[in-house]
Amino acid sequence: MATGLDGSLAPSPGNSPGQNPALSLSMVTLLPPATALEPLAQKSAARDGNLDSQDVLEEKLLPLTEKLKYLLKKAEDFQTYLLYSRDRVRREQFAKAMPTFLYTCQPFLMYVESVSRDTLPGRKPIPESVQKRLLEISQQLVSRLEQLALMYASFGFISLEDTDPCSTACFFCGKFSLGLFCQVSVFRYSMAALYTATWTPRNLYKKMRWNVDVSEETPGTKIREQRTEYYFLCYRDTGEELSRTGPASTSTKIQKLWSIGRWVPLAPGLESGDLFSWILCPQPTGEYHRLLTIGFEEPSLTLATDLLVQILTNHGLGSGPLCPMP
């Protein structure tokens, strides 16, 4: 399986879902016109009051809502064929259909997140009411994709194991810019996965990942180098810890404590210039540097990304060492 936008899964050449028209997809006219939302940003100062009107807002967002309806209808079709036609469709077709559909949704999600979250010099921010509606559209599609991926996995057509290189454990949810030299790519795990394959730290599971690409100028030169940091939305099973430290009880309630943190590499060390130390390392090890404790309620995709943006902004857009992937 090849990689698509920002490292997410993409279908390899020739990996179409077969000849069955029910499982074929087209990316033609998937994206709205490039100028679809430009008037909203350009006229925000003059028409912000009018944009608060629900009718005007829905009219301006009609191209995007139509695309959303189209993709949701496709997701519904995929579910219907899975439930009622799996005996008449080859297993390979179903196995290829889900990654292909996730890939097809990438441009739409990338566009919506970019328009709603980009902060670039000289560009006026879109009205808050428009941003809220755009993020609702993104959230709705991502939730539906997650449900569909879980359903396909329950029938054994795809794998959600993070250690399987051919799995669809996580999928791309959009990309946006924070200034000229920082880009954030958003990924979501359909099923919570262990933070690392070695089970360390214990009882820690990841649900979202953000790849933060920062371009920095090398001191004394005008050359810019890019480094990547990896941030995660995780939860820790606090109930398991209590059951080990306290009296044994079958009624111990397991609570998920949610937080946002950063991957911090331990071995091989970043200072090591020995390439073989990386090649021979069966599993890079690292720690989870917790940056923000959220609480016992899982945040939505939108809220979690909002919190990450606050963290990056408060810390100078993710300053810190290069962070290899776990």
**Does residue 12 have a pLDDT over 50?**
no
Give per-residue pLDDT as tens, 174-228.
999 998 899 999 999 999 999 988 888 889 999 999 999 998 877 777 778 888 9
326 or 303, greater pLDDT: 303
Which pLDDT score is estimated for 324?
43
Closest of 175, 162, 23, 31 to residue 93, by C-alpha: 23
C-alpha count within 13 angstroms, C-beta hemisphere, residue 37: 27
Are 10 and 19 spatial neighbours (Cβ–Cβ below 8 Å)?
no
**Does residue 322 have a pLDDT over 60?**
no
The model's confidence at residue 231, banded by pLDDT at 50, 70 and 90, is very high
To the nearest whole percent, how much of the chain has pLDDT over 90? 44
How far is 127 from 123, CA to CA, in rounded Å? Answer: 12
**Does residue 42 have a pLDDT over 90?**
no
The model's confidence at residue 269, banded by pLDDT at 50, 70 and 90, is low
In 3-state terms, what secondary structure has residue 234? strand
Which pLDDT score is estimated for 164?
87
Are 5 and 110 spatial neighbours (Cβ–Cβ below 8 Å)?
yes
**Does residue 268 have a pLDDT over 80?**
no
Average pLDDT over the chain, rounded to an integer: 78
Which pLDDT score is estimated for 53?
62
What beta strand segments (E) does 245-284 contain? Answer: 256-267
150 or 277, greater pLDDT: 150
How do the domains of the chain map onto residue ranges? Answer: 1-161, 195-326
Residue whose token pair is 């428009």: 130
Give the dihedral sign, CA 13/18/19/22: negative
Segment 78-100 shows an average pLDDT of 82
Which long-range contacts link 83-86 to residues 24+ away (Cβ below 8 Å)? 85/22, 86/155
